[in-house]
Amino acid sequence: MTATLSSIARETIARFENKSAKIGILGLGYVGIPLALRFSEVGLTVLGFDVDRERVRELNAGESPIKHIPASEIEGMKRTGFEATDDFSRIPEVDAIIICVPTPLSEQREPDLSYVVSTMESVKGHLREGQLLSLESTTWPGTTDEVLKPYIDARGLTVGEDFFLVYSPEREDPGNPDFTTRTIPKVLGGVTETCSAVGMALYGTVIDKVVPVSSTQAAELTKLLENIHRSVNIGLVNEMKLIGDRMGIDIYEVIDAAATKPFGFTPYYPGPGLGGHCIPIDPFYLTWKAREYGVSTRFIELAGEINRTMPEWVVSKVAEGLNERCKALKGSRILALGIAYKRDIEDCRESPSVEVMEVLRDRGAVVEYSDPYAPVFPRMREHSFDLESVELTPETIASYDAVVLLTDHTDFDYDLILEKAKLVIDTRGKFREPKPNVVRA
């Protein structure tokens, strides 16, 4: 670091390093809560902000709104001074402002920064000198400089001198027991070298390894590359699944065999489509921004097209399986197993399971679902079912014309499902041995 730090920068860094700082986390969800827990764990006081008053109430009552985070951890965080609020006038209390709000797509499949913008509108009148603002939400390269920095400039603060601005993308993997907020390396880019130094001091208190890059734009593009890498490879393996199906070749056998190569190959597994808040969405942030530079992202968009066709393909396999049993899809009773976008979590955002359910319903099937992580079908912007989760008993499983395994939760009794279901449509490769009542999808 070659920059000469201002006295304000040195004071802010000192507060982070001696743990006298208060940390403000804006957005108390799958990213914000684990981050709050980690800051509290090392002895820093956290003030959490959220516009959802029920979420604020839950956390202040010591309840956990996320199933894989026990309430005991929320209670422990409260004992170190954690408090949640929807009062953004309290922003001056904190030394670091970390934004962890969603960045979805609009109905036109374009970036929707409304949550980021509304957050900045809420805090703009309360920013003060000496604070660090860090954006963790996934976005297009240039957002930190082009969208956030003008709010700071309008406040009369000077970025890099008396206020500090960085981009440090979240890398949470909900439900993954092998990696934690502390152990996942943190990429960070600052608007100036001084901003980077202050940001490194903040995250260095809670993350084992912080990886600096040269700019906020480089950090923003890093996050997009990580998730586009997954999107493209999942698109590839989904296309290979279609080819294997036509050729009568078990794609899972092929993947397992290829994975024995000790170099040059990383196994990805097919499924009913892409889900979650990142992988189905992030590629569109880059393709949208790339058009500004006259670049066509054909490779990225092709992978997206393949992945978006998967729910329709799953439904076609349901129809084929029923047809072989002299049943029509229309009027058949179908049970969707799992509506979360990945196993053992309750997050249903962008879940391909829900898209499969909608296509089945649109084609005349009677659709219900079972998911231990979603007892009531959640409120969603684009999807609506007035349903509650069905308990899996021998009688209920046997009562459906087909069950479609969409999310392979470990809580499901797969032996019972295999024994009692008339027809299983397996989109996750859970049933590897050929069985007369199992159809791969």
DSSP, residue by residue, 66-114:
STTS-HHHHHHHHHTT-EEES-GGGGGG-SEEEE-----B-TTS-B--H
221 and 210 in a single domain? The answer is no
Residue 111 included in any domain:
yes
Are residues 326 and 403 both part of a single domain?
A: yes
Kindly report the backbone phi and psi dihedral angles of residue 147, in degrees, each rounded to the nearest multiple of 5, phi listed first.
-105, -45
Both structure tokens of 315 = 């439904």
Q: Reduced to 3 states, what is the DSSP secondary structure of residue 384?
A: coil
Give me the residues of the chain with pLDDT under 50, please: 1
| Block residue for tokens 């909608």 | 358
Q: Is residue 360 situated within a structural domain?
A: yes
In a domain, residue 33? The reply is yes
Q: How much is the pLDDT for 384?
A: 81
Name 437's Cβ contacts closer than 8 Å, sequence gap at least 6. 418, 421, 422, 423, 424
pLDDT of residue 172: 83
pLDDT value at residue 1:
47
| Cα–Cα–Cα angle for 170, 171, 174, rounded to 5 degrees | 110
Q: Are residues 262 and 136 in the same domain?
A: no
**What is the rounded CA–CA span in Å between residue 282 and residue 105?**
9
- Beta carbons of 380 and 347 less than 8 angstroms apart: no
**Using an 8 Å Cβ cutoff, are 271 and 310 in contact?**
yes
For residue 225, the domain's CATH number is: 3.40.50.720
Residue 2 within a domain = no
The reply to whether 277 and 180 lie within a common domain is: no
Residue 194 shares a structural domain with residue 238 = no
pLDDT value at residue 34: 95
Backbone phi, psi, residue 439, to 5°: -120, 125
Are 203 and 231 members of one domain? no
User: What separation, in Å, do the N-terminal and C-terminal C-alpha atoms of the chain show?
Assistant: 53
- Of 258, 291, 308, which residue is a domain's last? 308
Residue 148 lies in a domain: yes
Q: Is 251 helix (H, G, I), strand (E, B) or coil?
A: helix
Task: Decide if 176 is inside a domain.
Answer: yes
Separation in Å, CA 20 to CA 12, 44, 402: 10, 7, 58
What pLDDT is recorded for position 85? 98
Q: According to DSSP H, which parts of 170-213 are helical?
A: 193-204
| Listed residue (100, 68, 116, 108) closest to 169, CA to CA | 100
* pLDDT (0 to 100) of residue 3: 66
Of 308, 325, 343, which closes a domain? 308
Q: Give the per-residue pLDDT at 379.
A: 83
CA-to-CA dists, residue 368 to 332, 376, 402, angstroms: 11, 11, 11
- Beta carbons of 405 and 373 less than 8 angstroms apart: no
Domain shared by 210 and 233, yes or no: no
Give per-residue pLDDT as tens, 60-87: 999 999 988 999 999 999 999 999 999 9
What SS3 state is found at 357? helix
- Given a contact cutoff of 8 angstroms between Cβ atoms, the answer to whether 322 and 328 are in contact is yes
Domain count, the chain: 3
Q: For residue 257, what is the enclosing H or E element?
A: helix 251-258
**Residue 278 a catalytic site member:** yes
Q: Which of 190, 214, 238 is the last residue of a domain?
A: 214
* Per-residue pLDDT tens digits for 266-297: 999 999 998 766 677 888 889 999 999 999 89
Query: Which domain, by its residues, includes 100?
Result: 7-214
Buried b (16+ CB within 10 A) or exposed e, 327-344: bebeebebbbbbbbbbeb
144 shares a domain with 13: yes
From 195, 278, 326, 348, the catalytic residue: 278
Which residue shows structure tokens 């000496």?
130
Are residues 284 and 372 both part of a single domain? Answer: no
Q: Specify the length of the chain in residues.
A: 441
